[in-house]
Amino acid sequence: MTENRRSSYADRIEAAMEEDGVRAEVDVRHVEAYMRAGHPTLDGLSALEFRDEVRLAVLCIEAAGWLASEDLARSYGL
């Protein structure tokens, strides 16, 4: 994915993050990468599961740090 192209999930992830009051500096690409690490496709998640996975991904980012999260995002082409 190029830098100026967003995934089809980015808006949904951002909306869930905003609703939960997640810090703006959390990178949506990092959140999506952690979500993808646990699910081959995000389309199969219900709205509640999707939101729970966003929350879990944010916790993973906080635990792993920026560099590991960036490496993971790049490994998914994000």
Task: Please give the torsion angle defined by the CA atoms of residues 40, 43, 48 and 49, in that order, rounded to the nearest 10 degrees.
Answer: -10
> Is the whole model's pTM more than 0.75, yes or no?
yes
Residue 33: CB atoms within 10 Å: 23
Residue 67: CB atoms within 10 Å: 8
Structural domain span for residue 57: 10-75
Q: Is residue 4 part of a domain?
A: no
Q: Is residue 46 part of a domain?
A: yes
Q: Is residue 3 part of a domain?
A: no
How far is 40 from 15, CA to CA, in rounded Å? 22
Q: Is residue 28 part of a domain?
A: yes
Work out how many domains the chain is built from and give that number: 1
- How do residues 2-58 score in pLDDT, each as one tens digit? 455 788 999 999 999 999 998 888 999 999 999 999 998 999 999 999 999 999 999
